Amino acid sequence: MSPLVYSRIIGSSLIVLAYFVVLHVDVLSGAVVHLIGTLMSIPFFITTKSWDVVLMRTFLVFISISRFFT
């Protein structure tokens, strides 16, 4: 497997973990985990030209970033 595939798998796992962290631990920590996971998985979807997923994940990055300012 290529490094991008590993990055996508880890990133997707972090996104799922982030929802758990948001619900049961801390919102800010969950936003950080979500941001890292999303940024790790976006390059894979760019190379596979899955533009709908790239757009959705980018939108979710901005939601996570907005949490840092509130």
Q: Looking at residue 63, what is its pLDDT?
A: 83
pLDDT mean values, one per 10 residues, the chain (70 residues): 92 94 91 91 92 91 81
Q: Looking at residue 52, what is its pLDDT?
A: 94
* C-beta of residue 57 within 8 angstroms of C-beta of residue 24: no
Tell me whether residue 9 is exposed, middle or buried, using C-beta atoms within 10 angstroms of its C-beta: 0 to 12, 13 to 18, 19 or more. middle
Angle at CA of residue 44, ends 14 and 20, nearest 5°: 15
Q: Looking at residue 65, what is its pLDDT?
A: 84
Helices vs. strands in the chain: H and E counts, helices first: 3, 0
